[in-house]
Amino acid sequence: EVFDVTGKKVLSVRIDSADKTISLNLRKGCYILRVAKQTRKISIA
């Protein structure tokens, strides 16, 4: 799942393997990425 800085979910993708590449196609900015139990902050420039 990908959330914007306000907490709004902007993308949800089911990942069914350990190696998966996803094109986000998001506007510039900071986002929160949650995969399983891990959460990371990402920046799109």
Quick one: DSSP state of residue 13? -
Quick one: DSSP state of residue 12? -
Quote the pLDDT of residue 18.
75
Quote the pLDDT of residue 45.
85
Quote the pLDDT of residue 22.
80
User: What region, left, alpha or beta, does residue 28 occupy, with left being phi > 0 and alpha being psi -120 to 50 degrees?
Assistant: beta
Cα Rg of the chain, angstroms: 10
Quote the pLDDT of residue 23.
81
Instruction: Determine the structural domain holding residue 39 and report its residue range.
Output: 2-44
pLDDT tens digits for range 1-12: 999 999 999 999
Question: Does pTM surpass 0.85?
Answer: no
pLDDT tens digits for range 10-40: 999 888 877 778 888 889 999 999 988 899 9
What is the number of domains present in the chain? 1
CA–centroid distance for 12 within its chain: 8
Task: Say if CB 30 and CB 1 are below 8 A apart.
Answer: no
